[in-house]
């Protein structure tokens, strides 16, 4: 590949990455300082990397000068030994440049991949500590993009952008200095042709930026479509309600536009390369013509003419690349800013500085005048992650109003109420998925905000109505509760959850993949596997959010029996969905519009004939068919 081709490729890449909006974007104060703080662990590597770049640029200028000396030796009837010596020097410099190229690539990869690792792990760790409301508002694709595209864009600031900037500046300064030393007249005349190339190149670059951004947006849209349509739930929805022909036509339209953009981009690239080559060749013709004239007149040597012609090829590329350097730098800084934007969003739930571990025997749960409203968008989210211009400013609405109750160790509390009454909210406040606005949630007599989150959640086990499974084996999903569990322990909880027959009948047993979100299992099978995972954790406090909703009567009876044995001596808070849950509860709490309106045993509340009585008649009474008569 010629030098012209390499310069053309670099500049085309620069113009693809460059974004005029980035050039005018106002970055927050201190961005540069934070960037350098991120790069601090690599400062020694960066220094060596830059030294190699400078050395390579020096070799690039020295080689044409030596080539000119060879010509002078030949035309001046110099000694063969001198020609051979210079040839060996040129060969040695070529070998050294090759070694430097490998060294540059190694340091570039070391710095770049190190930065990617640091930023990705920092963002991943930070995002994991964000409240649940952050994930309910954020587009998953936008968040993943921060971990991939923006991290890679930031990494380019210290590899391609930095190396290109330093290399181009050094090459330009050295080349121009040597050329002016050899012949300032020819150098000035050669630069006169630069606008003939740079002005059209900038216009091509602007157009290329526009269609490249359109291509990125279309690809992102297609990726989003494929992600939504190709997961199990999306595929089922399309099959049940979708219009395959319309879906195909929509996708084909975007794919066709990406195809057309690819062709256009390729032609722009070819035009760019042809223009660079043409202008460089015209400039070389000028050098040969004018330089040859001076050489014939005895004002220049033939070697000097050759040196000027060779150096000229190293002048246009750096000049054109540096004309777009500001856009490249700002684009990289914008990527850093987008990463910092996520890191600057402070998690709402954090351990207090003086937080202590919750005692292992903590078993009581108490709500003391708890008031709660879900976080607003500005508290937990970013407009860019929601794909909106401005976050909504809807004020928080209180959903729990002075809720107070106590569950003693070993008690089962059933939460009952119409949809939206606050049952799930209460269940999420115990493991501190959210923090109360006022009042206290106490576990083992300790305010959950004063203990470490890890120790709190180690004492609590939760099974929700939608039992989530990772795309992993049955073994892997169970071990998430207790990583060091033995096979005997796994089979024990599997038996207790009444799924032994299912697991043993699978081709790979415990090592069978359950599929994305567990879709290879039925709803009841997933629920029982989730209960097995809970049993393996063996927590002091258990929260069941309609965990048996997907079970048939036979499965429910088996699981309820297993739960009755497993929950003995443990505190449990159960959002009631089945009549059997209410019958087994030590206390039933009836919620309506975020308030406790009734509390007592099933018999007491049924006798009171209030909201519970109404709920019982509309939701639970039909389940009593075939069940022993209820106590009065």
Query: pLDDT for 58-115, tens place per residue?
Result: 898 888 888 888 888 888 776 788 888 989 999 999 999 999 989 988 888 888 888 8
Cα atoms found within 13 Å of the Cα of residue 410, Cβ hemisphere only: 3
Angle between helices 184-192 and 244-296 (to 10 degrees): 150
Residue 350: alpha-carbon gap to chain centroid:
22
Q: How much is the pLDDT for 21?
A: 46
Blockwise average pLDDT, block size 10, the chain, 632 residues:
46 48 57 80 88 89 88 79 88 93 88 85 88 81 76 74 80 86 83 69 66 67 70 66 74 84 78 73 81 84 86 76 69 78 87 92 93 88 74 83 94 90 93 93 95 92 81 89 91 87 86 72 80 88 76 64 70 80 86 94 90 81 51 35
Q: How much is the pLDDT for 68?
A: 87
Q: How much is the pLDDT for 632?
A: 33
CATH number of 365-376+406-624: 3.40.50.300
Q: How much is the pLDDT for 622?
A: 60
Q: How much is the pLDDT for 600?
A: 93
Q: How much is the pLDDT for 628?
A: 42
Q: Could you give the residue range(s) of every CATH 1.20.1560.10 domain in the chain?
A: 3-343
Q: Could you give the residue range(s) of every CATH 3.40.50.300 domain in the chain?
A: 365-376+406-624
354-399: per-residue pLDDT in tens?
999 999 889 899 999 999 999 888 888 887 777 666 777 777 789 9
164-190: per-residue pLDDT in tens?
788 888 888 888 888 888 888 888 887
Helix (H) or strand (E) holding 230: helix 194-230
How does DSSP assign 574-610, residue by residue?
EE--SHHHHHH-SEEEEEETTEEEEEE-HHHHHHHTS
Tokens of 95: 């070998």
- 131-to-128, 142, 346, 373, 395 alpha-carbon distances in Å: 8, 17, 10, 14, 18
Cβ proximity of 469 and 521 under 8 Å: yes
Q: How much is the pLDDT for 6?
A: 47
Question: Torsion over CA of 381, 385, 390 and 394, rounded to 10 degrees?
Answer: -40
Q: Which CATH number is correct for 3-343, 3.20.10.10, 3.20.20.70, 3.30.70.141, 1.20.1560.10?
A: 1.20.1560.10
Return the HEC string of 149-169: HHHHHHHHHHHHHHHHHHHHH
């Amino acid at each position: 590949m010629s030098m012209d081709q390499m310069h053309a490729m670099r500049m085309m890449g620069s113009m693809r990455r460059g974004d005029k909006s980035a050039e005018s974007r106002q970055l927050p104060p201190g961005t540069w300082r934070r960037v350098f703080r991120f790069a601090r662990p690599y400062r020694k590597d960066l220094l060596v990397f830059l030294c190699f770049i400078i050395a390579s640029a020096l070799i690039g200028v020295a080689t044409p000068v030596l080539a000119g000396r060879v010509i002078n030796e030949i035309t001046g009837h110099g000694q063969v030994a001198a020609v051979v010596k210079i040839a060996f020097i040129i060969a040695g410099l070529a070998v050294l440049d090759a070694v430097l190229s490998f060294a540059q690539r190694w340091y570039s990869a070391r710095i770049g991949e190190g930065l990617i690792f640091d930023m990705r792990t920092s963002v991943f760790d930070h995002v994991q500590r964000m409240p649940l409301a952050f994930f309910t508002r954020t587009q998953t694709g936008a968040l993943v993009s921060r971990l991939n595209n923006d991290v890679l864009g930031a990494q380019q600031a210290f590899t391609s952008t930095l190396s290109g900037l330093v290399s181009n500046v050094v090459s330009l300064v050295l080349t121009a200095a040597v050329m002016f030393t050899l012949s300032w007249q020819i150098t000035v005349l050669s630069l006169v042709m630069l606008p003939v190339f740079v002005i059209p190149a900038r216009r091509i670059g602007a157009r290329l930026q526009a269609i490249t951004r359109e291509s990125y947006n279309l690809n992102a849209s297609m990726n989003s479509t494929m992600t939504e349509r190709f997961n199990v739930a999306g595929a089922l929805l399309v099959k049940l309600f979708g219009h395959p022909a319309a879906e195909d036509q929509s996708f084909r339209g975007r794919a066709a536009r990406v195809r057309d953009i690819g062709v256009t981009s390729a032609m722009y690239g070819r035009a760019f390369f042809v223009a660079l080559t043409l202008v460089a060749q015209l400039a070389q013709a000028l050098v040969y013509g004018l330089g040859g004239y001076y050489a014939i007149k005895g004002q220049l040597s033939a070697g000097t003419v050759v040196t000027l012609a060779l150096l000229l090829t190293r002048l246009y590329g750096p000049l054109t690349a540096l004309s777009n350097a500001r856009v490249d730098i700002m684009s990289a800084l914008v990527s850093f800013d987008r990463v910092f934007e996520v890191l600057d969003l402070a998690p709402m739930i954090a351990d207090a500085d003086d937080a202590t571990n919750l005692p292992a025997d903590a078993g009581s749960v108490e709500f003391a005048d708890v008031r709660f409203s879900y976080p607003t968008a500005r508290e937990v989210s970013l407009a860019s992650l929601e794909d909106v211009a401005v976050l909504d400013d809807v004020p928080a609405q209180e959903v729990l109003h002075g809720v107070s109750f106590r569950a003693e160790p070993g008690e089962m509390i059933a939460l009952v109420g119409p949809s939206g009454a606050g049952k799930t909210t209460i269940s999420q406040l115990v493991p501190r998925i959210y923090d109360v606005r006022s009042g206290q949630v106490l576990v083992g007599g300790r305010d959950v905000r004063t203990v470490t989150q890890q120790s709190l959640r180690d004492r609590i086990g939760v099974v929700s109505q939608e039992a989530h499974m990772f795309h992993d084996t049955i073994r892997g999903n169970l071990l998430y509760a207790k990583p060091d569990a033995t096979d005997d322990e796994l089979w024990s909880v599997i038996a207790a959850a009444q799924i032994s027959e299912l697991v043993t009948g699978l081709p790979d047993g415990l090592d069978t993949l359950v599929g994305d979100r567990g879709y290879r299992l039925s709803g009841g099978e997933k629920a029982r596997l989730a209960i097995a995972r809970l049993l393996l954790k063996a927590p002091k406090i258990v929260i069941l959010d309609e965990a048996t909703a997907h079970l048939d009567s036979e499965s429910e009876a088996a699981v309820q029996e297993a739960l009755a044995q497993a929950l003995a001596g443990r505190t449990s808070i159960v959002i009631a969905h089945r009549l059997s849950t209410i019958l087994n509860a030590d206390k039933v709490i009836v919620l309506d519009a975020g308030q406790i309106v009734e509390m007592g045993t099933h018999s007491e509340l049924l006798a009171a004939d209030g909201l519970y009585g109404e709920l019982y008649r509309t939701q639970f009474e039909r389940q009593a068919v075939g069940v022993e008569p209820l106590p009065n």
